[in-house]
Chains A and B, each alone.
Chain A
């Protein structure tokens, strides 16, 4: 409950992606994207999915999958997946 990743996890030594529902009020989108843009990483990508909230991967699966296949997968393959 004292979690503050901006202070404790600002450097991540692997590819780092945040794919956030634009209307997320449970884990507010602005805070998530701000944190993502704050992280130092070998590869970083921060994006919002329109018309979705906290459960973007369930409510807008096509858009979420597109992000995974187009953005995450190519980077992960290069890095060994």
Chain B
């Protein structure tokens, strides 16, 4: 390290961020505010949602007009957010479904930023997924003697994983082939749709009160600097 760099060293270096906040008399207020913001982000899906196509930015919804995003820029934003708001040293990323592709890419781009990656509903190969789904749904159509679907599958022959229109056409009915637990959960969402939609997603105070999101919970989630 050069002399110039040494002279710029913070006089507080060596102390923890929590100690700094206590010295400044801001610890309690910051803890409360930060925790509310973190929980709000988690509930709102902001931190994660910005990295998810599924958060209202799906191809299925927008087709060729799907908003294009730079994963690199998103990562930089997320890194700043985590470091400035959550004060965590490292993060565990959980990637689900299409988000698992994004998650794995994040690990490739910035492995040092993340302590671990967890994939669930993990995509491996899109072609493989399309082929398996096609086969499964075709079998289901034959089993149920659904002539329209059988003709549709026969017309397609071999699915083209790069043909989005074709995929979204034949995969319209995958829910019937889903695991019973998935079907039940999706149905429960439909049943509660009006309640969920009526909720105020920007006011988390009642949620915080119910959840008792205390500092002890926080310490279980992540260690602070």
Q: Mark A64-79, 1 if CB is under 8 A from B, else 0.
A: 1000100010011101
Chain B contributes a number of interface residues (CB within 8 A of A) equal to: 51
Q: Give 5 closest A-B pairs by Cβ, nearest first.
A: A53-B179, A35-B124, A23-B179, A81-B115, A13-B111
> Which residues of A are found within 8 Å of B120, using beta-carbon distances?
18-21, 56-57, 64
Given the complex of chains A and B, what is the CA–CA distance between A12 and B100 in angstroms?
A: 13
- The total number of A-B Cβ pairs within 8 Å is 177
Given the complex of chains A and B, what is the CA–CA distance between A72 and B120 in angstroms?
A: 13
Chain A contributes a number of interface residues (CB within 8 A of B) equal to: 48
B14 interfacial by beta-carbon distance below 8 Å? no
Would you call B179 and A21 a contact (CB within 8 A)? yes
Among A16, A17, A23, A79, which residue has its beta carbon within 8 angstroms of that of B90?
A79
A62 interfacial by beta-carbon distance below 8 Å? no
Q: How far is the CB of A39 from chain B (nearest CB, A)?
A: 9
> Which residues of A are found within 8 Å of B89, using beta-carbon distances?
80-81
Given the complex of chains A and B, what is the CA–CA distance between A23 and B174 in angstroms?
A: 13
Would you call A15 and B117 a contact (CB within 8 A)? yes
Would you call B178 and A26 a contact (CB within 8 A)? yes
Among A9, A60, A72, which residue has its beta carbon within 8 angstroms of that of B108?
A9
Given the complex of chains A and B, what is the CA–CA distance between A68 and B119 in angstroms?
A: 11
Q: Identify the stretch in B72-80, B144-152, B181-189 within 8 Å (CB) of chain A at 4 or more residues.
A: B181-189
